[in-house]
Amino acid sequence: MKQQAPKQFARDEFDNTGAIRRIASANLKTAAKAAVLALGTAAASAQAAISTTEVTTSITDASAAIAVVGAAVLVLIVGIKVWKWIGRAL
């Protein structure tokens, strides 16, 4: 009985690069369409008058509260470190 040589597979049977390229191309086209739509929308909304005084006032008013919370967190972290340091010394 003669031994048969192993079957040689064509490269295309296991190569999915063509399918991947088609999907990537479709995704690129969809992304390009979305970008054009977004730019068109941004250009249209950029011409609308936006009042920034309300936003600026809100940020300015909130800065004091944010500073208090930040200071409290910093004191808490330092307090925990000092507590551990004292505990280790004893």
pLDDT digits (tens, 9 = 90+) for 31-44: 777 777 777 766 65
Average pLDDT of the segment spanning 23-52: 69
- Predicted confidence band at 70 (pLDDT cuts at 50, 70, 90)? very high
In this prediction, residue 61 has a pLDDT band, given cuts at 50, 70 and 90, of confident
Amino acid (one-letter) located at 57 = T
Between 85 and 12, where is the model more confident?
85
Q: Is the pLDDT of residue 82 over 70?
A: yes
* Identity at 49, one-letter amino acid code: A
